[in-house]
Amino acid sequence: MATIGFIGLGNMGAPMLANLVKAGHRVSAFDLSEQAQKAGANAGGQIVKSAGDVAAGADVIITMLPAGKHVLSVYNDPQGPLARAKAGTLFVDCSTIDVASSRTAHASAQKAGMLSLDAPVSGGVGGATAGTLTFMVGGSDKAFGVGQPVLAHMGKKIVHCGGDGAGQAAKICNNMVLGISMIAVGEAFVLGEKLGLSHQALFDVVSTASGQCWSMNSYCPVPGPVPTSPANNDYKPGFAAELMLKDLSLAMEAAHTAHADCALGAHARDIYDTFKAEGHADQDFSAIINAIRARSGE
Ligand code: NAD
């Protein structure tokens, strides 16, 4: 079994760490927050005093941090893990960050003689806890070969999407589809209400017709048709609207840099931005239907 360093023990990091410990790995771990350190210790990690300290004896170092600036601050710290790990250590960044920062992190790792992967996830806290995350991975074949068996302890599906940054690219493209499709499904239900259609009738048609999609079939934004969807639990996340806004913003940043015309992605980002400004950041993103209904005069 491997010795693993883990930096970032928040909502996702701590349960991911727990699955590595369950699989028999030795994990040394660090987070800036005391509360997160406690969660990491409860998950079976050995808490060290700094991010750089996780490098001692590590074969693999995983980061699970909020955004690109946090990842680069760890990677570029002269006392950090990149400066202190043994040559050839695999660095895996599982955070969802912008593609440009991800590629910079890869370049820093490789310049220091390390292997590197970007490996953002989908599946949320539930998937992190159950060990059923999907990993979207970017990096060399060699790095993927080393990282794949470690990721397999935390996820059920691991897709090698291409070179450096390809995992982040796949993640934001997927979540752009998700953000847009949830708004489309919300609009369809509100229009259906206005036209006198029951939720169940609309669901029964669309979920088996050409409008079917994950936002309708698995995560239906009205209570009733899909009992496990957050709509049945007062729109508790799930996947918070704030995180959807983050991912749509990352997608639009990438679209701008890459000169891709993503008109609906941009509109979806603005709709979630307003939703957050109206005080709904902590609700599940499917609650966007309530804003659509309110704007429709009910
Ligand atoms: P979180 O805010 O709960 O945890 C992040 C942790 O990083 C915090 O405990 C914070 O103290 C720590 N941190 C920040 N800077 C640090 C540094 N320099 N050194 C050490 N620790 C530091 O966030 P989360 O929900 O666990 O999400 C982590 C990442 O996973 C994000 O990029 C998020 O977009 C992505 N993600 C989250 C979900 C979800 O449902 N929560 C789903 C998919 C992807």
Residue 225 burial (CB count, 10 A) = 22
The CB-side HSE value for 141 (13 A sphere, CA atoms) comes to 0
Strands 115-118 and 133-139: antiparallel
The predicted-structure confidence for 2-58, as pLDDT tens digits, reads as follows 999 999 999 999 999 999 999 999 999 999 999 999 999 999 999 999 999 999 999
The verdict on pTM exceeding 0.85 is yes
Q: How far is the CA of 8 from the centre of ligand 1 (A)?
A: 6
What residue has token string 């934001």? 172
Alpha-carbon distances, residue 27 vs 23, 65, 186, 199, 212 (angstroms): 11, 17, 43, 48, 42
Pocket residues: Cβ below 6 A from ligand 1: 7-13, 30-33, 36, 51, 64-66, 70, 73-74, 95-96, 121-122, 124-125, 239, 243, 246
38 annotated active-site: no
Q: How far is the CA of 141 from the centre of ligand 1 (A)?
A: 27
CA distance linking residue 275 with residue 253, whole number of Å: 20
The distance in angstroms from the start CA to the end CA of the chain is 58
Quote the mean pLDDT of the chain: 97
Atom of ligand 1 nearest to the CA of 67: 32
Shortest-distance Cα residue to atom 1 of ligand 1:
10
pLDDT value at position 298?
A: 60
Shortest-distance Cα residue to atom 25 of ligand 1:
11
The predicted-structure confidence for 128-141, as pLDDT tens digits, reads as follows 999 999 999 999 99
pLDDT value at position 126?
A: 87
* Helix, strand, coil content of the chain in percent (nearest 5): 55, 15, 30
> Is the CB of residue 11 less than 8 Å from the CB of residue 27?
no
